[in-house]
Amino acid sequence: MAGPLQVDLVRRTPARAPSAQSLALWAAAALGARAAGHEIAVQLVSPAVSRRLNRQFRGEDKATNVLSFPAVPMPGVRPKPLGDLVICPPVLLREAVQQGKSQRAHWAHLVVHGTLHLVGFDHEIEADALRMERREVRVLRGLGFSDPYRIVTPVTRRRSRA
């Protein structure tokens, strides 16, 4: 019998992140029954590394929140590698503030989003994007998080001039 999803957390930058157990829970929820017997590596990187990888593999010259690199199938290897998620915590944290989300909710969303990319989901065309977003919303609700695409603008407090 295959064991649970294994997540290997690699810190390439001194950033705070949820535990490997939380990352595994979120990724497994995205995968559903496909999670058992598989492995994902999650690498935390600096904005400079994220920018370099994003430029090299996606042609975009900017740091990004998450990149997904599906693994090449390797028969006989256990657990079966699904691929790598490369997350840039400074970008993730900035986005959480801009979008009025908790850091934990945005971490969960990006892990779910990136994991779905590892198994073939994408958002290049509108129909696929809607399918992926519906799956993300359903998975995140099941984990106790709200719809990540419903952006709440943070409330700014004004000081009264007395």
Task: Give the model confidence (pLDDT) of 68-100 as tens digits.
Answer: 999 998 888 888 999 999 999 999 999 999 988
> What pLDDT is attached to residue 159?
42
> What pLDDT is attached to residue 14?
84
> What pLDDT is attached to residue 156?
45
**Whole-number Cα distances in Å, 47 to 7, 36, 86:** 22, 32, 11
Ranges of residues in the chain whose predicted pLDDT is under 70: 1-3, 151-162
The residues pairing with 69 across neighbouring beta strands, listed in sequence order, are: 84
Pairing of strands 6-11, 66-70: unpaired
- Cα 27 to Cα 116: distance, rounded to the nearest angstrom: 8
Residue ranges of domains in the chain, CATH in brackets: 6-142 (3.40.390.30)
| Helix, strand, coil percentages for the chain (3-state, nearest 5) | 45, 15, 40
**What pTM does this model have?**
0.89
